[in-house]
Amino acid sequence: MPVTVTADSPRDPGATALLQASHAYLQSLYAPEDNHFLSIDDLCTPDIAFFTARLDGRVVGTAALALRDGYAEVKSMFVDPAARGQGVANALMVALLAEGRKRAVPRLMLETGPLNVEAIKLYQRHGFNRCGPFGDYADVPASVFMECGLAPRRMQENEDMRAVHALLTASFAYMDGVIDPPSSLNRMTVDDLSRDAALNELWVIEPGPAACVILTPKADTLYLGKLAVAEAQRGTGLSRVMVDLAVARARALGLPSVTLQTRVELVQNQAAFQAMGFVETDRTAHAGYDRPTSITYQRSV
C-alpha cells in the first residue's frame, strides 16, 4: 500500500512511540545542550502543524511545522528505521512543503546535526540550502542550519532553462496521441523559454523546479500558458499557487482578467480550471480544422 500522510495528534499512541524513539536516537548522537527537539507537550500547541505517515495503518513517520514570525520551522522529522527506503521521508517532506504554501509561509527553516547525513541529503533534494543561524539558535559546530523558499520566483533570460524545459516536456507528454493537433510544446526549445523570460514572465516554484508557468500580458488580459507541475508534487496545490500568482500579477499590471486555453479532449483540466474560478468564454479551431479544438477560459480579477 502507498504511504499516506495526514494531519494528526502527537498523542496518538503510534506517533508518541515514534517521537520517543526519535528523542532517544538524538540523545545518543548529541550532548543535551545540542539537542533541540520539541517535547510531545510542545508539539500539541496551536502554532504546530503535526503530521504522521502511515503504511498499512501503522505510524511509520512523523514531521511537524512550527509556525514562526516570517517562516515555519521543520521539526520532529523521523522515520521508523524498519520503514526506511519506502518513500516515507519524501512523502512527509512533500506534505510539509504543501502545508507551508497553503499557509502562505515565505520559507521553511530547519536545524539538524552534522551526523544526520541522510537527513541533510533529503533536505537538499527538496530544495533546502545551508544558511546561518536563525531564531534563538547559537552558531555552534553541532548545528547545521538550512532554508527553503516557497514563493514563486520569476526567472531571468540569462538563466539555465534546461530544467524548466524538462519539466514541461515531462508534464505534457501524456497529451501525445490524446489531443489533435499535437501540443505546441513539442516545438518549444530552451531558447524559446529564454525569450519568454525576456519578453513575458516565466515563473517557477523551486526546487526542481516543482512547477512553472508563462504569463503573457495582452491588451486587455493576462494570458496564462504552459502551466506544469512535477509528477511528484501533484495534488499539493501548486497549480492553484500559480493561478493565484497570475491573478495577483494581473492586478498589479492593471489588467481585468486572466485568460487561458485548454484542449477540448482534456476534460480533467477543464474541471480543474473551473474549480479555480475560470469560466468558459469561447471555443476555437486550429488552422485546418473544421471543429473546435481549444476552449478559452477567463477569470476576472
- Each residue's pLDDT tens digit, 249-279: 999 999 999 999 999 999 999 999 999 999 9
For residue 180, the domain's CATH number is 3.40.630.30
Domain final position from 91, 123, 149:
149
119 vs 237: which has the higher pLDDT: 119
Which among 149, 181, 198 is the end of a domain? 149
pLDDT tens, 76-115? 999 999 999 999 999 999 899 889 988 888 899 999 999 9
pTM of this structure? 0.73
Alpha-carbon distance values, 300 to 160, 235, 252 (Å): 33, 25, 13
Is the domain of 167 the same as that of 206? Answer: yes
pLDDT at 207: 75
Same domain, 295 and 158: yes
Q: Which domain holds residue 191?
A: 153-300
